[in-house]
Chains A and B, each alone.
Chain A
Amino acid sequence: AQSVSQHNHHVILSEAASLELGCNYSYGGTVNLFWYVQYPGQHLQLLLKYFSGDPLVKGIKGFEAEFIKSKFSFNLRKPSVQWSDTAEYFCAVKATGRRALTFGSGTRLQVQP
Chain B
Amino acid sequence: DVKVTQSSRYLVKRTGEKVFLECVQDMDHENMFWYRQDPGLGLRLIYFSYDVKMKEKGDIPEGYSVSREKKERFSLILESASTNQTSMYLCASSSSRAQSTDTQYFGPGTRLTVL
Residues of A within 8 A of B (CB): 4, 6, 9, 32, 34, 36, 42-46, 49, 51, 90, 92, 94, 99-106
Our pick among A43, A92, A105 for the contact of B40 (Cβ within 8 Å) is A105
Docked CA distance A49–B104 (Å)? 11
Count of interface residues, chain B, beta-carbon cutoff 8 Å:
26
Which residues of B, 60-80, contact A by the 8 Å Cβ criterion? none
Our pick among B40, B43, B50, B107 for the contact of A103 (Cβ within 8 Å) is B43
A-B contact count (CB 8 A): 50
Structural contact, A99 and B108, CB atoms closer than 8 A = no
Structural contact, A45 and B106, CB atoms closer than 8 A = yes
Structural contact, B42 and A43, CB atoms closer than 8 A = no
Docked CA distance A43–B106 (Å)? 6
Docked CA distance A49–B41 (Å)? 21
Nearest CB on A from B78, distance (A): 20
Q: Which of B11-19, B20-28, B92-100 contacts A (4 or more CB under 8 A)?
A: B92-100
Structural contact, B45 and A32, CB atoms closer than 8 A = no
- The A interface is mostly helix, strand or loop, or mixed, namely strand
What chain A residues lie within 8 Å of B48 (beta carbons)? Answer: 99-100
Structural contact, B94 and A99, CB atoms closer than 8 A = yes
Contact of B89 with A by CB under 8 A: no
Using CB atoms, name the residue of chain A closest to B90.
Answer: A44
Are A90 and B99 CB-contacts (below 8 A) given A99-B48, A100-B58?
Answer: no
Nearest CB on B from A24, distance (A): 14
What chain A residues lie within 8 Å of B102 (beta carbons)? Answer: 32, 51, 94
10 new A-B contacts, CB < 8 A, other than A32-B102, A103-B35, A106-B42, are A6-B42, A43-B107, A44-B92, A46-B103, A49-B103, A90-B43, A99-B48, A101-B104, A105-B40, A106-B40
Docked CA distance A105–B40 (Å)? 6
Our pick among A34, A100, A105 for the contact of B103 (Cβ within 8 Å) is A34
Nearest CB on A from B115, distance (A): 24
What chain A residues lie within 8 Å of B94 (beta carbons)? Answer: 99
What chain B residues lie within 8 Å of A34 (beta carbons)? Answer: 103
Using CB atoms, name the residue of chain A closest to B107.
Answer: A43
